[in-house]
Amino acid sequence: MKKNLFCYVSSILLASLLLASCGSAQESTSSSTEPPPFIPIDDSVLTSSAEVVAEEWASLAFMVGAQSVDVHVRAGDRVRQGDLIASIPESALPQSIINAQADLVLAQQNLDDLLTSETALAQATINFRAAQEAYDKAVDYRDSLNDPITITEVKIKEERTPFGIVEVPVTKKYQGYADKVTIAKADEDLALKKGLLEDAQRDLARLTDIANSPEAIAAQSRVAAIEAVLNQANLIAPYDGVVVEVYLNSGEMVSPGTPVVLIADLSTLQVQTTDLNEVDAARVQVGDPVNVTFDALPDVVVAGEVASIALKNAPGSGVYFNAVIKLAEIPEQLRWGMSAFVEIQTDGE
């Protein structure tokens, strides 16, 4: 009896242990299959690497070649619009510019003669007065044909004389109206006199305002064209800015189109993306707000907005589109070519 009771109690304890073991296994299995906590992703923020670029810059080069040049600036110099940057010395001028110097003297003299001479204007005034008088006479004559006029008719009459039969002209005058031939000739003459008067009027008006006459405009264009050739000997600053790079030294030979200096307006620095992919580029819109950071300025964050998005992908191995970011402010330490990182806030669609 005791033995059976011991077996019964042992069975109960074993069953209890087995049930506890199964519960622990199920709890362990249940806890290991729970998913990790959900962390939402903000897909309204697009990121891209970028670089600092100048909005306005110019690489200046001579259009003609020369044996030597004079460079008048150094890197870092500030220049104003119209300042002389570099020039070809007189001793190294190409033949085309030397010829233009002589042509300019003659062209300028021709222009000055047109603008200052009074001879042509005086002659035009005389011509106009004479044309007006001739036209007035033609009008009066044509008007007179509308009324009866004195018609003179000459007939030849034969008369016998001691010397034989001779022809004698007999003139007869009477009042009547002009025939169609006479009227037609008067109309033709009136039209001619009117045309001559209009020509004289135009000529006088042209010479009265000689500065705007076709001759003066042509002469001015000729002078401007020659001056443009002469200006090929000089490089002029196209706007206010800073000399960023100088590629030649004074005395060096220069070829046509070879860059001499690089000028930029560094007050208009902006940021341009370098790896904005086509999917993200399709979501970016002009005016989207942007936060910009710079590798060289780790503690600086500058706000900005998208100013433009390229209509064509940038050249290179990947399909990337350049987006230009206009900065709300330009840090003093910022330099052209520095690396940047942009976060573009889109509408999330």
Write the DSSP string, 95-144: HHHHHHHHHHHHHHHHHHHHHH--HHHHHHHHHHHHHHHHHHHHHHHHHH
Residue among 269, 272, 242 at smallest CA distance from 333: 269
Closest CA to 199 of 120, 127, 292, 270: 127
**Topology annotation, domain 45-56+265-345:** Elongation Factor Tu (Ef-tu); domain 3 (2.40.30)
Q: How confident is the model over 247-289, as pLDDT tens digits?
A: 999 999 999 999 999 999 999 999 999 999 999 999 999 999 9
- Amino acid identity of residue 279, one-letter, is V
Q: What is the pLDDT of residue 129?
A: 94
Element (H, E) at 81: none
Q: What is the pTM of this model?
A: 0.60
The domain segmentation of the chain, as residue ranges, is: 45-56+265-345, 115-225
pLDDT, position 42: 57
From the list 249, 197, 196, 260, the residue with the least C-alpha distance to 62 is 260
In this prediction, the residues of the chain whose per-residue pLDDT falls under 50 are 1-10, 13-15, 17-31, 38-40
Residue carrying the six token digits 């002659």? 123
Q: What span, in angstroms and rounded, lies between the C-alpha atoms of 236 and 113?
A: 31
What confidence score (pLDDT) does residue 37 get? 56
CA distances (Å), origin 277, targets 3, 317, 322, 323, 344: 83, 12, 9, 11, 13
